[in-house]
Structure 1
Amino acid sequence: MILSRDTLNRKILARYAAARSRAENDLARRREMLLESSPELQTIEADLARARGTWLAAKAAGHDPTEAEAGLDAIRESRDTWLRARGLNLDDDVPEYECSHCGDRGVIDLVAHTSATGYTLASGTCPHCWGNTAAPLIQAAGQLQYVRNCNFADFDVTLFSTAAQGRAMEALRQALELSADNFAVEGRDWLFHGLPGTGKTFMAGSLANALAERGLYALYMTATGFNEIFEEYRLMRRMFQPDPVRLEQAEEAYAGIHTADLLIIDDLGTESPYFQSRLADLSATLQSREQHGLRTIITTNLSVADLGRTYDERLVSRIMGRFEPVPFRGEDLRLVLRRKGRTDV
């Protein structure tokens, strides 16, 4: 189900909060079991609580807390000695988080951190757990299952029929990877146009997956899917008593289109002309996303000239004035891969 950015953020935070809660509840149970099994430890813990109270009272009254601190440290050492003598782990007093690096918060204290794969994670997302915890939620909300096989690591420059086209696609790959590493600064709007099978969806999907790994929300949909969302949204809003589930889904999808960090509209030009508001919906969406500093990629099998003949002049003017056009040329890469005996398309 497509989600708004706010709903997605809440789901990610809830997932991490649940993990923290499990770890802290497990610690509380371990402490309780340990105390129940040892009256002597109960006495030490009671002494420790009183010593903490004495220390806090001294601090609050403005008195010298040195003596109280010494008493507190002595009782702590007594407790640690008791635990060591029984072969108990002193770390039993610390929650066993699923991720010891971020304490199941999903972020690290640094502004950025370089992961094992060599890229810099945006907004301090934890490189040790983000991929397993938050990225699946982002991928599901962004419909990235449709581009799950698109990854920059699988880019193969030797598939292109000419050296010039290979160099052009390699330059684009580098630009997109740079964009993923610093999307707030390097993110752009792109128009990928060219014949079917020349790599447009692969490049767009690779950027989407790279952003999801970095904690950014990339939303993929076909041009037909884009128009269907608007039709459903209008239908639900017009109904006197809409189905609450359908209404929520329609509102979330509509909001997702307007709040995702990256929106990919694939195969523009293949949608049905019977969507009466398709031009107005696309134009308004592009204007809204531009105003909010959000990025969009449009892919199409149409040439730039064909776009001008197919769509409203104002819409085409907005696209050509804002988007960076990239032509995709050459042979259908699916046919090239089949000749090479590969099926990874």
Structure 2
Amino acid sequence: MKYSRELIAQTDALLAERRRAAQERLDRRRDWLYGRIPELGEVERLQAEGLRRMAEAVARGAPSAAISALLLEAQALQDRRAGLLLQHGVPEDALRLQYECPLCEDRGFVEGRPCGCYDRALRRMAYENSPMGAALRDKTFDNFSLGHYDDRPLERGGSARAMMEVNLRRCRRFAETFEQGPRSLLLQGGCGLGKTHLSAAIGNALAARGHEVVYETASALFAALEREKFGRGQGEDTGRYTTCSLLMIDDLGSEFVSPFVLSALFTVLNTRIINGLRMVLSTNFTLAELEQVYTQKILSRIMGEFEVLRFVGTDIRVKLAAEPRP
């Protein structure tokens, strides 16, 4: 995936903040330990002085006997320091910088190559800066309220609340087991029933773990593909639709369905399925309506690869708007 200079700069700033925070944590630990073990501060002061004297001795070509004496002195101080830490039950690494990524020490690169943590940070930043990611970053599994759904029995058995509890559990499981390759999801049901909230909760959870998540409305996705197809591209990286870890298409069926859209949708679905890449689709359409709009061929591809979660109940947005405000 191609990243903008602005996104790279934001990620670099994030890593710089991690390094600053690591140094700040070390300074606080050191101040606390020096207060608890005064001799420790004196030993570390002598160690720093010994390093300075060693560097000066080497620079002026001091005799080997003098260098050996300094080395013995340094070892004695190191042993005393270790003894003090052990005596007071302090871990040996307590006075070392502790980075979020020990491999690159929060610098983003190892031997000139991007570290895995840098790639993950870029992917998360890209998702959070996308229009959908920015708008929905507050949606989580924990703040999805089942209280909005009626618990009265439905004609077919169960209740809206019970069905939505199952949907919540399955969406959470999809996110938690993503690395094990769960089936893709089709969230199907009317407006205002929580499809977008749970889609966003999945995307936020996976982006936080460093997966490349692309979340687009159907109309925006097909418009970008059409602009690229007919040479009117605006610099979008449409290749990510077939290569990202998770593609999420919201409001499938809201776009104008043309022969190009049918072809593009089948290509995206088929390419990702062949490559074992997961998707989450949401739609207000019934399965019969999807077949009528997108053809039996496309619906068959979806039904063969996706787990269908049916969303039921009353439009939550309308319900909340009708409630008296305090």
SS of the aligned residue for 1:151 comes to: coil
Name 1:29's counterpart in structure 2. Answer: none
1:178: how far off?
Answer: 2.4
Distance in 2 between the 1:320 and 1:192 partners?
12
Report if aligned partners of 1:198, 1:331 keep a CA contact under 8 Å in 2. Answer: yes
SS state at 2:279 partner: strand
How far did residue 68 of structure 1 move?
7.8
CA–CA separation in structure 2 for the residues paired with 1:330 and 1:44: 72
Deviations 1:300-344 (A, max 9, x none): 11100111111122111101111111111111011222244579x
Contact 2:187 2:309 in 1 (8 A): yes
1:72 Cα shift? 2.1
Tell me whether 1:72 sits opposite 2:71 in the alignment.
yes
2 CA distance for matches of 1:51 and 1:167? 76
Contact 1:200 1:328 in 2 (8 A): yes
Counterparts of 1:177 and 1:73, CA distance in 2 = 58
**2:7–2:126 CA contact under 8 A, matched in 1:** no
> 1:78 Cα shift?
7.2
Q: CA deviation at 1:43?
A: 8.7
Mapping 1:223-234, distance limit 5 Å:
223-234=218-229
Is the Cα–Cα contact under 8 Å of residues 183 and 305 in structure 2 kept in the other structure?
no
Please give the alpha-carbon distance, in whole angstroms, between the structure 2 residues aligned to 1:142 and 1:69: 63
Which of 125, 133, 138 is equivalent to 2:127? 138
Change (3 A) 1:157 1:294: same
Alpha carbons 1:48, 1:76 under 8 Å: kept:
no
State the SS of the aligned residue for 1:155: coil
Asked whether the 8 Å contact 1:180–1:211 carries over to 2, the reply is: yes
1:272 equivalenced with 2:238 (yes/no): no
Q: CA deviation at 1:159?
A: 0.8
Closer, same or farther in 2 for the Cα pair 1:280/1:305, shift >3 Å?
same
Aligned residues: percent identity?
A: 26
User: In the alignment, is residue 170 of structure 1 matched against residue 172 of structure 2?
Assistant: no
Q: TM-score, normalised by structure 1?
A: 0.63
Letter in 2 for 1:231: E
Letter in 2 for 1:205: A
Q: Does 1:47 align with 2:54?
A: yes
User: SS state of the match for residue 187, structure 1?
Assistant: coil
Superposed displacement of residue 267, structure 1: 1.0
Partners of 1:105 and 1:182 in 2: CA distance? 30
Q: CA deviation at 1:263?
A: 1.0
**CA RMSD of superposed structures (Å):** 4.4
Runs (5+) with no aligned partner, structure 2: 23-47, 81-94, 110-115, 153-158
Q: Which one of 303, 314, 317 corresponds to residue 334 of structure 1?
A: 317
Q: Tell me the residue number matched to 2:290.
A: 307
- Of 183, 188, 203, 1:193 maps to 188
1:262 aligned partner:
246
**What's the counterpart of residue 151 of structure 1?**
140
Give the secondary-structure state (helix, strand or coil) at the position aligned to 1:154. coil
CA distance in 2, matches of 1:341, 1:303: 33
Q: Distance in 1 between matches of 2:117 and 2:323?
A: 39
CA separation in 2, counterparts of 1:335 and 1:325?
A: 25
Q: 1:144 to 1:341 in 2, by over 3 A?
A: farther
- Tell me how far apart the structure 2 counterparts of residues 261 and 5 of structure 1 sit (CA, whole Å): 16
Unaligned runs of 5+ in 1: 25-40, 59-66, 82-93, 108-123
Number of residue-to-residue matches in the alignment: 269
Q: Please list the CA deviations of residues 244-277 of structure 1 after superposition, one character each: whole Å capped at 9, or x if unmatched.
A: xx3xx23x2x12212221111111111013x441
Q: 1:197 to 1:13 in 2, by over 3 A?
A: closer
Instruction: State how 1:18-37 maps to structure 2 within 5 Å.
Output: none
Is it true that 1:104 corresponds to 2:106 in the alignment? yes
Superposition pairs for residues 237-256 of structure 1, below 5 Å?
A: 246=234, 249-250=235-236, 252=237, 254-256=238-240
- The verdict on how the C-alpha distance between 1:23 and 1:177 changes in structure 2, with shifts beyond 3 A counting, is closer
Encode CA deviations 1:33-77: one digit per residue, 9 max, x unaligned.
Answer: xxxxxxxx889525247679x9xxx9xxxxxxxx98874251476
**How far apart, CA to CA, are the structure 2 residues paired with 1:138 and 1:125?**
15
User: Residues 173, 341 of structure 1: CA spacing in aligned structure 2 closer, same or farther, 3 A cutoff?
Assistant: farther
Conserved in 2, the CA contact under 8 Å of 1:125 and 1:214?
Answer: no
What secondary structure sits across from 1:324 in the alignment?
Answer: strand
Q: Is the 8 A contact 1:4 1:259 kept in 2?
A: no
